[in-house]
Structure 1
């Protein structure tokens, strides 16, 4: 497994076009691998996420079973004439193997929190429709409902730090929400459009089941993984060993 970080040159028009189209960026990520991993659920898949750190930098993160070659992205959306390397890939397997019960980490997850709804005009037995969670409370609840089966638990705040609003008992915030609607060529505009809502969670978690948690980190969490959702990354917590 590899964790790769690529810095996007947002001053280039091609880069801005990629960032504006999850479908194009999905294709560009896939082109980084001569042989794409199987998507039958039997093994880790390619996950990716774009982080925008204000106006300072935009980073593309990729987790993949094999090492990617991002030469085409450097030429299209990076600094091809720079002496600095265009991307950095880290061996991820050793880190994953070292995860243990009780480990505490800061995390970031961009996901597509959805639920199934039934419209009044649908008859009993007919298919429900998938819809995005719209409120911060429901989006947080979506993640909290999945923590046990995903091998972690969100750390709870000390009582003295909690506010009155519901959901504030956890070390968890919704950093941004981005509704997206786009079409997949060769479909016509507004025909079979893809509609997703990207939600970025920042928080602190504790590992409860290392095997399940490793699967979460390598298989993703939630829907719309092809369009930049599902990838969770970890960071050390200050004051923690």
Structure 2
């Protein structure tokens, strides 16, 4: 597995076009491989995410079974003369994960649930729109994903009973695009979780980091990354 980071030059029209459409960016990411990786049953897959940091820098992160070549992205939306990307062997980090490790995490996800308005009607997938429900969505998945979000001691809670975990939900984005051959646009809600976690099941967490969390993985959701703190 490989982890790749590439900085987009948002002053360029090509970069802005890519960022305006998750479908176009997905196509650009998959074009980074001579042979498009096909995820075997439950196997590792290509995941990607856009991060915008506090210095107004925009980065593309990719996790993939094969090493990508981002030359076309440099030419289209980077710095053609000086631009580059960084690709790291992800396996040493993944293999070091141990139960009890505490790490910072970032996850951009599409938190949804299925509802049925009337008996007999088919269920409909609907986005969670409040931060409380979005956080509940994440907490419901933490055990099977191999981690638990670190709980904040009572004396450090800004609002006792409502600030129990070391996580922030932010950067809510409504993504909309039209698939080829379809008239109606596809609309997705993406949010970013930043926080601290404790590893509870290293194998399950490795699965999470290389397979993703939730839906809309082709459109920039589902990629969790970790950092030592």
- Fold conserved (TM > 0.5)? yes
Matched, 1:170 2:165: yes
Distance 1:55 1:94, change over 3 A: closer
For residue 178 of structure 2, the aligned residue among 183, 190, 193 is 183
- Root-mean-square deviation (CA, aligned residues, Å) is 1.3
CA distance in 1, matches of 2:220, 2:32: 15
Contact kept in structure 2, 1:2 and 1:64, CA below 8 Å: yes
Contact kept in structure 1, 2:147 and 2:197, CA below 8 Å: yes
| CA-CA distance at 1:186 after TM superposition | 3.3
Query: Which residue in the other structure is 1:200 paired with?
Result: 192
For residue 115 of structure 1, the aligned residue among 113, 116, 134 is 113
| CA-CA distance at 1:40 after TM superposition | 4.4
For residue 158 of structure 1, the aligned residue among 153, 156, 159 is 153
CA distance in 1, matches of 2:33, 2:191: 27
For residue 228 of structure 1, the aligned residue among 211, 220, 223 is 220
| CA-CA distance at 1:68 after TM superposition | 0.2
CA distance in 2, matches of 1:167, 1:69: 45
Between the two proteins, the alignment pairs up a number of residues equal to: 229
| CA-CA distance at 1:116 after TM superposition | 0.2
Q: Secondary structure at the match of 1:48?
A: strand
Structure 2: give runs of 5+ residues left out of the alignment: none
| CA-CA distance at 1:38 after TM superposition | 1.7
CA distance in 2, matches of 1:203, 1:42: 27
Structure 1: give runs of 5+ residues left out of the alignment: none
Query: Which residue in the other structure is 1:35 paired with?
Result: 35
Matched, 1:127 2:122: yes
Query: Which residue in the other structure is 2:76 paired with?
Result: 76
| CA-CA distance at 1:176 after TM superposition | 1.6
CA distance in 1, matches of 2:161, 2:20: 34
Query: Which residue in the other structure is 1:219 paired with?
Result: 211
Matched, 1:66 2:66: yes
